[in-house]
Amino acid sequence: MAFDDVTPADLARELGIDAKRIRVFLRATYGKLNRSVESRWKLTPDQGASVRRHFARAS
């Protein structure tokens, strides 16, 4: 994982929430993964910031 790649599991640990909630948000916001090309979420810094903002407001 590159220094700027973050996963839902990384964010879940950071935010203290279930990674499944993050993946639900990601699918609703960015669509589903293309399973023929991608096997797991690797978020850009902007996507990670979007998740942090969303769940900061939700708590």
pLDDT of 32 reads 85
Domain boundaries, the chain: 8-58
Per-10-residue mean pLDDT, the chain, length 59: 76 96 94 76 91 86
pLDDT of 5 reads 81
DSSP labels for 16-35? TS-HHHHHHHHHHHH----T
Residue 34 to residues 6, 30, 41, 53, 56: CA-CA distances in angstroms?
18, 11, 10, 25, 28
**Is the distance from CB of 16 to CB of 6 less than 8 angstroms?**
no
Give the C-alpha separation, 29 to 11, whole Å: 16
Q: Taking the complete model, does pTM exceed 0.85, yes or no?
A: no
